[in-house]
Chains A and B, each alone.
Chain A
Amino acid sequence: MTQAASCHEPAPARLRDHLPARPQLVLAGNPNVGKTTLFNALTGSSAKVSNYPGITVESARGELALPGGRIADLHDLPGTYSTNARSAEEQIALDAVVGLDGAPTPDAVIVCLDATQVARAGYLLLQCQELGARCVVALTMVDEAGAAAPSARELSAVLGCEVVAVTARTRAGLDDLRAAIDRVLRSERRALWHWQPGPELRGRLDAIRSAMPDAWRSDRRYGAALPAADDALALWALTCVEPRTGSHDDDELQVPDAVRAAVIAEPAPRDDEAVLARWAWLDREIPPLIHRAPDRSRTERIDRILLHRVIGFAAFIGVMTVLFMSLFWWAAPVMDAIDRTFKWSGDQLQGVLGDGVFTDFLVQGVIGGVGAVMVFLPQILLLFLFLGFLEDCGYLARVAYLMDRIMRSMNLHGRAFVPMLSGFACAVPAIMATRTMERRRDRILTMMVVPLMTCSARLPVYTLVIGALIPGSRWTQGLLMVAMYLFSVVTALVAAWLMSKTVKPLKAKRLPFVIELPPYRFPRLGGVLRMMWGKSSMFLREAGTVILACSIALWALLYFPRHMPDGAPDYDALVAKAPTQEAKAVLLADKQALQLENSYGGRLGHTIEPVIRPLGFDWKIGVGIIGAFAAREVFVSTLGIVYAVGSDADAGSQPLRDALHDAKDASGKPSYSPLVGLSLMIFFALACQCMSTLAVIRRETNSLRWPLFLFLYMTTLAWITSFCVYQGGRLLGF
């Protein structure tokens, strides 16, 4: 057995007498090795999930209690197979392990090793050891491996670091792991290489090491000079930095110019040397410790059904139907109840406070805005309940396998299927669901097309327009509705393909699409509920506040100024003299309509009229479009106010339909022909009429750039398409 320590420092581990006041720990490991479960078990309720600054990678941090009452910070890294960066996620893993680019230098690294796949998981461990991390191995999935699990003691002797078998579910081994972490924290740092570079590689590493900036050097990062750890970082640079050959695959790497120059000074080496040497070592040392092959027969039996050509596809359609129906139908009553509750509370408050500007602010602005945020919760909770179970049991990876052929033709990830399907219900939870894709590029591309899907908020708009303006039988009207759904699917897929070809950050990289199909496992309710709660609270905290602020701003836009325009009739006097209740209601609706027209939003409707005139829209639709920014269905109630049929008009309201149908412009011709109706539906299908979508994309991408891009491209697309439909239709004589 080659227990080779570093060629630079064969010295045995010595003990440190002082520990840092608050040790920094990171948790690393491959995907699907039970890392998150272990993280939850170690940190309990202290975990906080947030985004890394500037990028869309989630980061979980929590506190871990060490023996003796000391508290350490534990940072859960994204699951990764290697520290060699090809993506933002892997760059984070490297930075966190070695303490580069603003990340604190970790005092120890806990590496999760899947007991059913020790050799493969061991690759990441070797890299961490070379980089000079104090490593502790948490051997997970021991219960699943059964007799196939290696003995922790033997494994520890071979790997040259502490190994603790843990079962997070039963909490077995957690105290041993804490004790092992405590011991490792007291040990002297060393860089452990299990293989030796050949002379050629050695020379290149020396050259790159001498070009490294101070911040990269181990004496700066670790407080002790470890030449072998510096070599490992030089090896990382040598492996990952590409000569600038026009392919910008390594754009995300943070590499100083001097290092880049040293790397590309000579042609790229056969960089497999390090990879092959690590695997040669693993393939030699690990198999003798594994006495039996892990039993995959249960997974194999299930896959024979779920991945079957016919039955598997039918099962897939069944699962997706249940998911979709639950978002569409099961969430609806709860959403209605939330709506009613907030309306009722508003009415109660109105009753207590009496009429007035402040009451309207509280009732319509604040309570209405909070309601607008809360109404998303049922769908978010349901979607993540499903996703959590599907991910936990291993089916989500199979969805990608089954759908890859279709999604790939549009350069989308196979896993984009579930978010896009959810987009038929609502873009907000669907955008949050893009988290199940590992790569940032796949996530953002999906986010950019999900809002094109026909969400349920568009339905009231379509229903109203079809009912009021589109002639024909129920059949043709129904067909038009189906056509709108198909239209949205086609535009979303074509948009994905076009963007993946033209928008640089969204271009497909030449990386293998290799996904693991993990063994089927029983989902853990605790973990799923925890994730549901985490996603929902993060939505409320980070996107909800933005949505609330926008709601209040929109309310103010359509509410102020309160004074009536010059020459307006004195409605209050008229109302007082009104002979009947009906006459009073008509007068009040007229007053409301005039007030809306006179509001800043109403004036804005007039201002944008020249822009939307070529699409066949007048200022009244303009005001509706502005109001619909709060949520598309608000278009209906805003038009209800504009046409003085009352703010509680819904899509089925006959007075509103009649008002639209009978509306005349200044010259006495009907304002809205069927062609205008079609143009309006196309506009709503394509335009980004939803502040909540923009708010949640801002949160998910941690940037203003992507929501802005989405808004501009969708609105431009909507305008141009509606323009072509309306003007083309007129040329054809409609």
Chain B
Amino acid sequence: MTSLAKTPLGRTVTVAAVDGARAFRRRLLEMGLVPGTAVRIVTVAPLGDPLRIEVRGGQWSIRRAEAAQIQVEAK
């Protein structure tokens, strides 16, 4: 198991757990980043942060430090 921030570009992984403070964690869960969800890092912003990820058919921008709170495992 590793964090989403350390996942190589383009590989699809599965969310295992979301860490962090309660409100932070709940926000990500409510947006649909629940355990079992497939995630893929599409690109990294030109300045190295944030990441562009694909979740549930939509795309989000998420900061590296926040992605580090998301534990993922290989699909």
Beta-carbon contacts under 8 Å, A264-312 to B: 268, 271-272, 275-276, 279, 283, 293-294, 296, 299, 303, 307-310, 312
Task: Report the minimum CB–CB distance from B63 to chain A (whole Å).
Answer: 5
Q: A residues within 8 A CB of B57?
A: 116-117, 293-294, 296
Task: Report the minimum CB–CB distance from A301 to chain B (whole Å).
Answer: 13
Q: A residues within 8 A CB of B56?
A: 117, 119-120
- Our pick among A308, A310, A406, A512 for the contact of B27 (Cβ within 8 Å) is A512
Residue among B34, B49, B61 facing the most chain A CB atoms (10 A cut-off): B61
Residue of B nearest to A299 (CB): B59
Residue of A nearest to B50 (CB): A404
Task: Report the minimum CB–CB distance from B27 to chain A (whole Å).
Answer: 5
Q: Mark B19-37, 1 if CB is under 8 A from A, else 0.
A: 0111111111111101110
Q: B residues within 8 A CB of A510?
A: 20-21, 23-24
Given contacts A117-B58, A120-B31, A120-B56, contact A272 B26 (CB under 8 A): yes
Q: Quick check: B23 and A249 within 8 Å, CB to CB?
A: yes
Q: Quick check: A84 and B30 within 8 Å, CB to CB?
A: yes
- Our pick among A84, A272, A404, A516 for the contact of B58 (Cβ within 8 Å) is A516
A549 to B30, CA, bound (A): 48
Given contacts A294-B57, A401-B52, contact A513 B31 (CB under 8 A): no
Q: Quick check: B52 and A513 within 8 Å, CB to CB?
A: no
Q: Quick check: B61 and A123 within 8 Å, CB to CB?
A: no
Task: Report the minimum CB–CB distance from B39 to chain A (whole Å).
Answer: 12
Task: Report the minimum CB–CB distance from A716 to chain B (whole Å).
Answer: 34
Residue of A nearest to B34 (CB): A279
Task: Report the minimum CB–CB distance from B75 to chain A (whole Å).
Answer: 16
A279 to B31, CA, bound (A): 10
Residue among B36, B45, B56 facing the most chain A CB atoms (10 A cut-off): B45
Given contacts A116-B57, A512-B24, contact A408 B63 (CB under 8 A): yes
Residue among A268, A509, A512, A514 facing the most chain B CB atoms (10 A cut-off): A512
Q: A82 an interface residue at 8 Å Cβ cutoff?
A: yes
A279 to B33, CA, bound (A): 9
- Our pick among A242, A313, A514 for the contact of B28 (Cβ within 8 Å) is A514
Q: A702 an interface residue at 8 Å Cβ cutoff?
A: no
Q: B residues within 8 A CB of A308?
A: 46
Q: B residues within 8 A CB of A21?
A: none
Q: B47 an interface residue at 8 Å Cβ cutoff?
A: yes
Task: Report the minimum CB–CB distance from B12 to chain A (whole Å).
Answer: 13
Task: Report the minimum CB–CB distance from B37 to chain A (whole Å).
Answer: 8
Q: Quick check: A268 and B22 within 8 Å, CB to CB?
A: yes
Q: A511 an interface residue at 8 Å Cβ cutoff?
A: yes
Interface size classification for chain B = 20 to 34
- Our pick among B27, B47, B58 for the contact of A511 (Cβ within 8 Å) is B27
Q: A229 an interface residue at 8 Å Cβ cutoff?
A: no
A242 to B21, CA, bound (A): 11
Residue of B nearest to A282 (CB): B32
Q: A residues within 8 A CB of B61?
A: 397, 400-401, 404, 513-517
A299 to B52, CA, bound (A): 13
Residue of B nearest to A517 (CB): B59
Q: A residues within 8 A CB of B26?
A: 84, 239, 271-272, 275
Task: Report the minimum CB–CB distance from B26 to chain A (whole Å).
Answer: 6
Q: Quick check: B46 and A402 within 8 Å, CB to CB?
A: yes
A633 to B36, CA, bound (A): 61
Beta-carbon contacts under 8 Å, A141-194 to B: none
Given contacts A81-B30, A82-B30, A405-B45, contact A516 B23 (CB under 8 A): no
Q: A residues within 8 A CB of B24?
A: 510-512
Q: A residues within 8 A CB of B52?
A: 303, 307, 401, 517
- Our pick among A119, A271, A279, A513 for the contact of B63 (Cβ within 8 Å) is A513
Task: Report the minimum CB–CB distance from B64 to chain A (whole Å).
Answer: 10
Q: B43 an interface residue at 8 Å Cβ cutoff?
A: yes
A397 to B59, CA, bound (A): 11
Q: B residues within 8 A CB of A82?
A: 27, 30
Q: Quick check: A404 and B45 within 8 Å, CB to CB?
A: yes
A313 to B46, CA, bound (A): 7
Residue of B nearest to A279 (CB): B34
Q: B residues within 8 A CB of A397?
A: 61
A120 to B32, CA, bound (A): 6
Residue of B nearest to A124 (CB): B30
A513 to B48, CA, bound (A): 16
Q: Mark B42-75, 1 if CB is under 8 A from A, else 0.
A: 0101111110100011111111001000000000
Q: Mark A118-129, 1 if CB is under 8 A from B, else 0.
A: 011001000000
Q: Quick check: A276 and B47 within 8 Å, CB to CB?
A: no
Q: A86 an interface residue at 8 Å Cβ cutoff?
A: yes
Q: Quick check: B58 and A120 within 8 Å, CB to CB?
A: yes
A296 to B49, CA, bound (A): 23
A406 to B48, CA, bound (A): 11
Residue of A nearest to B62 (CB): A514
Task: Report the minimum CB–CB distance from A567 to chain B (whole Å).
Answer: 68
* Pairs across A and B, CB under 8 Å, 18 listed: A84-B30, A116-B57, A117-B58, A123-B32, A276-B29, A283-B36, A303-B52, A401-B45, A401-B61, A404-B50, A405-B49, A510-B23, A511-B24, A512-B27, A512-B62, A513-B66, A514-B28, A517-B61
Given contacts A509-B23, A517-B60, 13 further A-B contacts (CB under 8 A): A82-B27, A116-B57, A116-B58, A123-B32, A296-B59, A309-B46, A400-B61, A402-B45, A404-B61, A513-B61, A515-B61, A517-B58, A517-B61
Interface residues of A (CB under 8 A from B): 81-82, 84, 86, 116-117, 119-120, 123, 239, 242, 249, 268, 271-272, 275-276, 279, 283, 293-294, 296, 299, 303, 307-310, 312-313, 397, 400-402, 404-406, 408, 509-518
Interface residues of B (CB under 8 A from A): 20-32, 34-36, 43, 45-50, 52, 56-63, 66
